[in-house]
Amino acid sequence: MRKEIANQIGKKNPQFRLRGNEILRIEAFSDAVFGFAVTLLIVSLEVPKNFEELMVTMRGFFAFGISFTILMMIWYEQNVFFRRYGMHDVRTIALNCTLIFLVLFYVYPLKFLFTLIFSKQIYGEGHSPFVMNIEDIPKLMMIYGAGYILIYVLFLFMYMHALRKSQQLQLTPLEIFDTKTALYAKFVLIIIGLASVVAALILPLRLAGLSGIIYVFIGPSYTIYYALRRRQKEKIT
C-alpha cells in the first residue's frame, strides 16, 4: 500500500523526487502499531447475541468509520513524509516513535468521543451506557484537542527537521518550497486545534461541545491555503 501511494504521490507532484523508495524498518513498525490501534477501536465489540445487539453494532459503524478515517489520515501523512525524504536518523525515529505512541494513547479517547456523539443513534434515547456529566464535556474536548495538537506539532517538527537537512537531502528550490508548504500547513491545523481548545474553555458548559465544530474549518482553510501556495509556486516555476 505504501508503494502504491508513493506512485500516486509521484504522479501528483513529479517535480518532487521521492527519496524513500524502500520501506524502512521504522515504517514497518509503524504499520504494526497503526494496525494495533485499529484493532483497539473494535476490540471491545463482541459477537452479537441477538438481533438487537446486532443492530447496535451496525449503528456504531459511522462512529467507528470516523475514528478509522482519522487514524488513516495520520498514517497517510506519515507515509508522505517518509516517501518524500526517506530519513531514518535518530531525530526522525524519535519523533516518529513519539507520534505512534500518541496514536496508541489516544485511540480510546477518540473512540469514546465519537461513540458518545452518536450514542443516541446507536443505543436509542435513554439507553446509552455512556455516563458523562455536563461539566466533563470541556475536559473531553480539551483532551481530544490536546492529542490533535500534539500529533501535528510532531509532524511540524519532522518537516522542520527535513528543511534543516535540505542540503544533505539535496532538495531543489521547488522541493524546499513544497516542504515549507507542508510545514506551514501544520501551523494551520495547530491553530484550528488551539481555537477549539480555547472555545471549550470559554464557552458555557451547555455549549462546550460546540467547540468541536471548529474542526469543520479544516477543509475550507486547507482549500484557501493551498490555492494561495499554488499561485506562489507558479511564480517561481
pLDDT level of residue 131 (50, 70, 90 thresholds):
low
In this structure, are 163 and 228 located in the same domain?
yes
- Residue finishing a domain among 129, 156, 188: 129
| Same domain for 149 and 48 | no
Do both 153 and 228 map to the same domain?
yes
3-state SS string for the chain: CHHHHHHHHHHHCCCCCCCCCCCCHHHHHHHHHHHHHHHHHHCCCCCCCCHHHHHHHHHCHHHHHHHHHHHHHHHHHHHHHHHHHCCCCHHHHHHHHHHHHHHHHCHHHHHHHHHHHCHHHHHCCCCCCCCCCHHHHHHHHHHHHHHHHHHHHHHHHHHHHHHHCHHHHCCCHHHHHHHHHHHHHHHHHHHHHHHHHHHHHHCCHHHHHHHHHHHHHHHHHHHHHHHHHHHHHHHHC
Last residue of a domain, one of 129, 163, 191: 129
Both 7 and 119 in one domain: the answer is yes
pLDDT at 192: 96
- Distance from C-alpha of 161 to C-alpha of 15, rounded to nearest angstrom: 21
Do 109 and 145 sit in the same domain of this protein? no
Residue 44 has pLDDT above 60, yes or no: no
The pLDDT of residue 63 is 79
Mean pLDDT of 200-204: 91
CA angle 230, 223, 18 (to 5 degrees): 55
Predicted TM-score (pTM) of this structure: 0.87
Q: Are residues 1 and 116 in the same domain?
A: yes
Domain identity same for 110 and 7: yes
121 and 141 assigned to the same domain: no
**Sorting pLDDT into bands at 50, 70 and 90, what band is 9?**
confident
pLDDT above 80 (res 134): no
Q: Give yes or no: residues 4 and 105 share one domain.
A: yes
Provide the number of structural domains found in the chain: 2
Assess whether 96 and 154 both reside in one domain.
no
Q: Is 200 exposed, middle or buried (0-12, 13-18, 19+ CB in 10 A)?
A: buried
Q: 104, 111, 109, 118: which is closest to 139 by C-alpha?
A: 109
* Model pLDDT, residue 48: 64
Same domain, 65 and 178: no
Range of the domain at 178: 132-237
136 lies in the same domain as 218 = yes
Last residue of a domain, one of 129, 145, 164: 129
Is the pLDDT score of 121 beyond 70? no
